[in-house]
Structure 1
């Protein structure tokens, strides 16, 4: 009986022990794969599969996954999987897990991870993860404490249709003795349809999340002919704060930076800028900027706020010296000059074509639709303007672009002690054209400075007002379709020689010789009043009153065709034997004007205008005489004389 009970007890204990032994002997960790796959798939919102799972139990337990695969969202099912990792192993501190349920992972190793990142023209991507709803609604979970992340032969292949990009990044870690593993990355392929190469040497990957551990970075990048270098440290890399970084960028054209920055920039001559890069309060900041743009220096600071709809660029820039030719791209002209240092053969040919063209005004369409991709707020000041025959001394502007609408308020050029300025609004139309409206003002412009730029001398000041409203695609088309008016008036002074050199022609000498005006004469009054209609600037009144002569003029300038059709007539204030006033004609193009005695219809128009009393300005000019230049008694006297003649 006792033996039977003992046998029963033995059988009762032996069978479970035998079953347990058989289970342990036959157990495979792979049996847990379905559970692990289900948990991972639910967390990532993607199908996750694992081929093999191994655990090496101990105080430090090693977990190994083989054949890990993370799939794509349904839209990318036909594409290669998002990620494949032949082998992942991690060391787990089992005692810490048993003691307080904390996850301490001294080491994670990824062997030959391969990632495929895709985006399509419709902006759908395979790398946007659904992590189970709004992050704010999920309970906070303390993440694992990871000591080191080691990569071997990693590859990230990226294809971004919208950026015309297809490149591969090779990733690995190096392990200097006694130091944390460092990240190494190399990229090669195409970006924005240009070849791209890049080399990155950084700190330990996991130090990215430690704000108390500065993360070193050394990056060199070449995208086509554009070169970028970034060196320094980030105090809080994941938040992009605490930066001590120097950024150097150089290339043949700032327009090539648009794919890298997301901000459209007009064409420029070769450039190089350096400055300090940072990120704070939701904005990337590029400060302490120093650089060159063609023959001009460029200094100041930028800030780019990514934004949900489009990025916003704030820039406060200044130049000690600027060549306005370097800024020609902003109005559709070929920027720079043929002898600008560093220009490419293509840029040199473009400038040469523009200089050889019979047209003076840029005809290249201004790419306004691209400006909708960013809002831009710019303040720019130039202390000195240099260039051949350039009357401007300084420049300042405030420019705002919001939803593609451009506001210049103001743009102002210093001329001696005076200014030429204006305020303009340019609004893009659906057909790609621009609607422009603006006001112009000349205030106490020094005639001496204008004449000096033209190789002559003079004195006095010039003032005036103008307005324009137009629609067009290029600078030439805008002026060639404009409506508006322009009125200018002087206060005293003198002219000497008017040696204006246009395209190698001593235009000023020929003009004075034809008019019969001495080389130096006192100006008593100069008034010009012009109407602009459909791109044709018509003379309503043009008068130059000197000590001994009165010069009147009329005619038209076609801004769209760049054609001159003007006449000038000189009348002596004193009757002299043989003094026969003969009108002269100014014809030809803006680049190649011609002077000759007026004949035929042009002479008839000049004689008829003189007979009608155009020698004196109309009464409508009286309010403009005092604009910005003070009173001119002689001009007012002439106006009064005109009033009396009209009674």
Structure 2
């Protein structure tokens, strides 16, 4: 009987053969599948996944057309037609937020797997573009979701370590910057040059468009981009930027620029007006004439420094040091400036006068005082402390010796600690404070002190002037406004000035009043030629922009001239009467009166012998000069025992009008003569005002 459960050797072999055949078939199918997969594989299958993940991460649509991967020990990944669309709210922008024809990154996989860190041999970008937009309301298209920022603030962040990169290759990059608040719309064009002859190549940046409303063109060549990450190697920079009529050149090296270690840079500025630098520097500077300045630019973690600069500003030289702390809000600027030789006209912009480019483009001004408005937003943009010293002042009209000043700007307020001029034995010194108000005006207090100022230095440009007169006195102003003109027009205060022993009055007054006006006044007054000026005293209060006359005296060897009237700074007009009479009795001597009225820039003069004789008779009793109150100022301003002091005493004890002027200087006395004055007989004496004189003259001049 045969056992049916036993197997024969043949059946076992058949089973083994079947198993091997099955296994081989599986491996064959698998190999075939791999072969087919390799043949039909497309990395583009991952494109939808990449687009979705990138869009979620950047919170704006992202797409790539193709993905290419070259596996190996050094794996290369390339994406084609990268596009990052504009975020929500910026869909109407014509260009994408960012794009590139291709972006390639090569990674050294083997080095990373063996624990030697991440090494990227090359990053290559072909025709990358960008469209950076910031609107006037502060909205922009480059702020991403704050989720990442919140996570970083909640979790202590570790210092970021950059991977080791071999080369960055950028070709034909075009980044548009449209920044409404900076009034800027320009293109930044970037490309790199390949390493050659042992160098690492360069990055080249060109600027085109408009920056701060002015055309901008720039060409900057820097070292290789990767050199920025290597602190041991100074990074070279060589560039030139033209912003409107202003141009800047910069050449030198930067030490470890990512960590602000130091620089060796030569910076050169030049242009028609320093105020135009505001767009480039963010620092407000008053208007200036044409300038050219070169210095050393340095920076650290706490400050940007422009040191040991020298140059020209108009016809003046200028130099010094400027330090800026950009980390404070607003930034803080500390400047120590100096000039060896300075023309005061070059500094006119600091008091609102138009200079440089502003003088060419500004419309004609009707104001005789500087009417350039103080720019409150610019003042709020920076806090500053500035000192300036000019060793020698060159100016044919104001031959002062030197200038020294210190002022501070804090939160829009200006504190002029001092502004001093030395002239021979004399000195002019001013202080002022300007506090901003809500409507962009300034509450202002100003004081000017003049002490023993030699007139011969002031009148140096006059060839015919002879004498050693001395000027002393004070000017004060309290007001609210936003320019010199508006501050005076709205102001209260006054002027008290004394001129002692002024030399030849026929040479002096034409220059003080202007040649045409001064000569005409002297001729009309009948002051003899070559008269020696003994004293000139002016005490003129300012009341809400109207300069009145409390006292005005001009005394020569033979005549005494007094004045009354007003100067209106609201409309820049004057209405004035000046009367001259002999100090000693003279036969056929007729007191002369001159009436000056109309615009300050070109006033009218109204003399007339017959009418003046009638007016002088009334003015002789009614227009009184009260100089006695000025004796303390005279003593302080020009010294005791001066001719002015004697003239005041003489006018008080022996008045030409027969009434002691001291009687009008007591408490409660009016600052201007009253139209009606009691005569010594007790009867009111009527006299004519300047406007009444003009009216009478007009009637008299009518043809009969």
TM-score of the pair, normalised by structure 1? 0.85
Distance 1:78 1:513 in 2: 75
Q: How big is the shift at 1:278?
A: 1.9
Residue 407 of structure 2 corresponds to residue 396 of structure 1: no
Q: How big is the shift at 1:575?
A: 3.1
Q: How big is the shift at 1:309?
A: 4.4
SS in 1 for 2:78: strand
Q: How big is the shift at 1:479?
A: 1.8
Distance 2:598 2:149 in 1: 72
Distance 1:511 1:415 in 2: 29
Distance 1:391 1:601 in 2: 42
Q: How big is the shift at 1:508?
A: 4.9
Q: 2:449 aligns with which of 441, 444, 459?
A: 441
Closer, same or farther: CA 113–570 of 1 in aligned 2, 3 Å: same
Larger radius of gyration: 2
SS in 1 for 2:475: strand
Closer, same or farther: CA 487–44 of 1 in aligned 2, 3 Å: same
Residue 415 of structure 2 corresponds to residue 407 of structure 1: yes
Deviations 1:11-58 (A, max 9, x none): 579757965873585265455667766776676666654444333233
Does structure 2 conserve the Cα–Cα contact (< 8 Å) formed by 1:420 and 1:440?
Answer: yes
Distance 1:163 1:358 in 2: 33
The equivalences for 1:542-561 within 5 A come to: 542-561=552-571
Residue 123 of structure 2 corresponds to residue 116 of structure 1: no
SS in 1 for 2:149: coil
Residue of structure 1 in register with 2:309 after alignment: 289
Residue of structure 1 in register with 2:175 after alignment: 156
SS in 2 for 1:519: coil
Q: How many residues align?
A: 633
Residue 193 of structure 2 corresponds to residue 174 of structure 1: yes
Residue 231 of structure 2 corresponds to residue 217 of structure 1: no
The equivalences for 1:102-141 within 5 A come to: 102-129=117-144, 132-133=148-149, 137-141=156-160
Does structure 2 conserve the Cα–Cα contact (< 8 Å) formed by 1:331 and 1:362?
Answer: yes
Residue of structure 2 in register with 1:470 after alignment: 479
Does structure 2 conserve the Cα–Cα contact (< 8 Å) formed by 1:276 and 1:286?
Answer: yes
Distance 1:398 1:601 in 2: 54
Does structure 2 conserve the Cα–Cα contact (< 8 Å) formed by 1:283 and 1:306?
Answer: yes
Residue of structure 1 in register with 2:98 after alignment: 83
Q: 1:516 aligns with which of 527, 538, 552?
A: 527
Closer, same or farther: CA 249–446 of 1 in aligned 2, 3 Å: same
Closer, same or farther: CA 447–362 of 1 in aligned 2, 3 Å: same
Q: How big is the shift at 1:348?
A: 5.0
The worse-fitting range, judged by mean Cα deviation, of 478-487 and 72-81 is: 72-81
Q: Which runs of 5+ in 2 are unaligned?
A: 1-11, 654-659, 667-704
Does structure 1 conserve the Cα–Cα contact (< 8 Å) formed by 2:550 and 2:626?
Answer: no
Distance 2:616 2:417 in 1: 40
Does structure 1 conserve the Cα–Cα contact (< 8 Å) formed by 2:397 and 2:459?
Answer: no
Distance 1:16 1:468 in 2: 103
Residue of structure 2 in register with 1:277 after alignment: 297
Distance 2:233 2:21 in 1: 62
Does structure 2 conserve the Cα–Cα contact (< 8 Å) formed by 1:208 and 1:236?
Answer: yes
Distance 1:86 1:634 in 2: 90
Residue of structure 1 in register with 2:692 after alignment: none
Distance 2:157 2:22 in 1: 51
Higher strand share: 1
SS in 2 for 1:583: strand
Q: 2:516 aligns with which of 483, 505, 523?
A: 505
Q: How big is the shift at 1:148?
A: 1.1
Q: 1:538 aligns with which of 548, 570, 586?
A: 548
Residue 221 of structure 2 corresponds to residue 201 of structure 1: yes
Distance 1:261 1:270 in 2: 17
Residue of structure 2 in register with 1:243 after alignment: 263
Q: How big is the shift at 1:292?
A: 2.4
SS in 2 for 1:505: helix
Residue of structure 2 in register with 1:485 after alignment: 494
Q: How big is the shift at 1:138?
A: 2.4
SS in 2 for 1:148: strand
Residue 308 of structure 2 corresponds to residue 298 of structure 1: no
SS in 2 for 1:127: coil
Residue of structure 2 in register with 1:625 after alignment: 634
Residue of structure 1 in register with 2:276 after alignment: 256
Q: How big is the shift at 1:145?
A: 0.5
The equivalences for 1:576-615 within 5 A come to: 576-593=586-603, 597=607, 610-611=620-621, 614-615=624-625
The worse-fitting range, judged by mean Cα deviation, of 269-278 and 209-218 is: 269-278
Distance 2:426 2:197 in 1: 69
SS in 2 for 1:321: strand
SS in 1 for 2:459: helix
Residue of structure 2 in register with 1:67 after alignment: 81
Q: How big is the shift at 1:589?
A: 3.8
Q: How big is the shift at 1:484?
A: 0.9
Residue of structure 1 in register with 2:164 after alignment: 145
Deviations 1:540-590 (A, max 9, x none): 112344555443333222233333333334444433433443333344543
Does structure 1 conserve the Cα–Cα contact (< 8 Å) formed by 2:188 and 2:207?
Answer: yes
Does structure 2 conserve the Cα–Cα contact (< 8 Å) formed by 1:266 and 1:330?
Answer: yes
Residue 430 of structure 2 corresponds to residue 422 of structure 1: yes
TM-score of the pair, normalised by structure 2? 0.79
SS in 2 for 1:291: strand
Does structure 1 conserve the Cα–Cα contact (< 8 Å) formed by 2:531 and 2:557?
Answer: no
Does structure 2 conserve the Cα–Cα contact (< 8 Å) formed by 1:527 and 1:542?
Answer: yes
Q: How big is the shift at 1:203?
A: 0.8
The worse-fitting range, judged by mean Cα deviation, of 102-111 and 225-234 is: 225-234
SS in 2 for 1:196: strand
Q: What value does the CA root-mean-square deviation take over the aligned residues?
A: 3.7
Distance 1:375 1:109 in 2: 44
Does structure 2 conserve the Cα–Cα contact (< 8 Å) formed by 1:539 and 1:556?
Answer: yes
Q: How big is the shift at 1:2?
A: 6.7
Closer, same or farther: CA 624–60 of 1 in aligned 2, 3 Å: same
Deviations 1:198-245 (A, max 9, x none): 212111011112121111112122222222222222122234442222
Distance 2:216 2:287 in 1: 21
SS in 2 for 1:327: helix
Residue 197 of structure 2 corresponds to residue 188 of structure 1: no
Distance 2:611 2:24 in 1: 129
Q: Which runs of 5+ in 1 are unaligned?
A: 337-342
Q: 1:231 aligns with which of 241, 246, 251?
A: 251
Distance 1:553 1:190 in 2: 58
